[in-house]
Structure 1
């Protein structure tokens, strides 16, 4: 991923101002990380034979299960901001692939709870454990001061990305080949 491209030469979105080179390098590294993470997620989806929404739903269900909570179809629909029809189709796929079971809710027999199966735990652990361990090793190699700087930086970027733009974005037209 660290190969030089035409976008590097022209500064991508950020003009090649010498005193901004360290900042450009950080943002370039962040873009490369995001691309690598997306590729890793694609490999995991391929390994599990599920799509991105299914993987996201499985993450929510497993997280809730690990914290002693149960999610129902309505909860999942709300978390994922998808329609009830889409949620039903998603749940059907996860049940069909053996990753989730529908069970009667323990306190409301009219409701369902969605429970990740042993297969989903094994599949996710097999697919993700080595990545998580290596990522934790890298993060653990930071000093507390370095970890604080990285954390503040990423939280500030997250806050910026989560905010609505203050003014309309007017992109500069990109000239095509002549």
Structure 2
């Protein structure tokens, strides 16, 4: 037997709109991953390598907040899928870099084109001035969230980092990603020029 207390925990105003926006971006990221037959972690890894051009597994593990063993598994799957290739580190024979393959470059270009088209259609009724204001406001809020959520001793940071997500909207304390979704921290959609 279910016992409902009758309390709903939803956000209104700007926080509600932010959750709605992030949820829509999350669904877009999920669609991209499904279309490419990639897991969310594989997609995040691929977007990170695309943004950085060349990244070591250790750097990727730190960015994804995963163990190097987990990143080794993910990168192996992406190499096997023909999306990443390993390049020897020029100064350290024990290390290597991960880089996109030509196939992955084509995929990223298509994803970026589709995302730009989506946002252009979604904002077509905004004037250039409104779009500029929206862009700068979104970037300012994203930078503020990063600053607040990473401030040592911040009660707000503790709550955000402990919660892990906001109403299923994507991590607020993650490393960010460029897939049009999820994380608002780091090099993510709202604070970067790349997807």
Number of aligned residue pairs: give it: 147
RMSD: 3.0
* 1:40 maps to 2:28: yes
| Partner residue, 2:47 | 59
Q: Distance in 2 between matches of 1:41 and 1:148?
A: 23
| Partner residue, 1:49 | 37
Q: CA deviation at 1:150?
A: 4.3
Once the two structures are superposed, residues 90-140 of structure 1 have per-residue CA deviations (whole angstroms, 9 ceiling, x without a partner) of 111111111101122234344211111111111122233221244367388
Q: Distance in 2 between matches of 1:92 and 1:61?
A: 14
Larger radius of gyration: 1
Counterparts in 2 of 1:59 and 1:146: CA distance versus 1, 3 Å: closer
Gaps of 5+ in 1: 1-9, 15-23, 170-178
* 1:29 maps to 2:13: no
- Given that 2:86 and 2:97 are in contact with CA atoms closer than 8 Å, whether structure 1 keeps it comes out as yes
| Partner residue, 1:92 | 76
Q: Distance in 2 between matches of 1:71 and 1:162?
A: 24
Counterparts in 2 of 1:140 and 1:80: CA distance versus 1, 3 Å: farther
SS of the aligned residue for 1:74 comes to helix
Which of residues 109, 117, 125 is equivalent to 1:125?
109
* 1:115 maps to 2:99: yes
TM-score by length of 1: 0.67
Q: CA deviation at 1:156?
A: 3.1
| Partner residue, 1:21 | none
Counterparts in 2 of 1:11 and 1:150: CA distance versus 1, 3 Å: farther
Which of residues 150, 163, 166 is equivalent to 2:155?
166
Q: Distance in 2 between matches of 1:112 and 1:94?
A: 15
SS of the aligned residue for 2:155 comes to coil
Q: Distance in 2 between matches of 1:145 and 1:13?
A: 27
For residues 134-173 of structure 1, the aligned pairs below 5 Å read: 134-135=118-119, 138=123, 141=128, 142=130, 144-145=132-133, 147-162=135-150, 166=155
